[in-house]
Amino acid sequence: MIVTVQALIAAGIAPAQAREFVQPLALACQRFDIDTPARVGAFVAQCRVESSAFTALEESLWYRDPDRLRRIFPSRIPDLMTAAMLVKAPERLANRVYSDRLGNGNEASGDGWRYRGRGLKQLTGRANYADAAEALGRPYLEHPELVAKPVDACLTAAWFWHANKCNILADSAQWDAITRVVNGPGMVAKDERRLYTEHAIEALS
């Protein structure tokens, strides 16, 4: 077995999280053919960044600084006055910035908060929850909170990885291309992700 507690610790995951996630992670990787040091290493590294080393399985959307909030969501929060009304109000913020996109309804629907980012991949939006639910046979639309539990956090991340052909990208060491798939055009922390990938592959080899 490639995925072990020792390998996860060597890849930068704290011992407590390594022990908690080793079994669900190993099963999810097995199910979706994430089965070589390159594939597992890249997968673990991307999940490490997305979930703050497997410690943040639910997007909090708690912000104190209106200016930072405006910079993060410029198309949804056009001015500081709007931003000031959304600081320290994570539910209102989620319903604002995720409304009418990703399969979500309007602000009043509550879909933005209900289907906020969860899991090792930070699955976001009603449409993505619906796709994962259908593929995995899990009730994520009715119970989105399941995605923040270790088993489903791993399953949804591995499903997304496989569905977006990240195994193929890992086989040819296209680390930045994987970051674009996982994180979008913003490519946040791309250098960190590449470094973590190299360390994880070494740990798993």
Per-residue pLDDT tens digits for 149-176: 999 999 999 999 999 999 999 999 999 9
Q: What's the rounded Cα separation, in Å, for the pair 7 and 11?
A: 6
* pLDDT for the residue 94: 98
Q: How confident is the model at residue 8 (pLDDT cuts 50, 70, 90)?
A: very high
* pLDDT for the residue 185: 86
Q: Half-sphere exposure of residue 190, counting CA atoms within 13 Å on the CB side?
A: 13
pTM: 0.93
Share of the chain above pLDDT 90, in %: 92
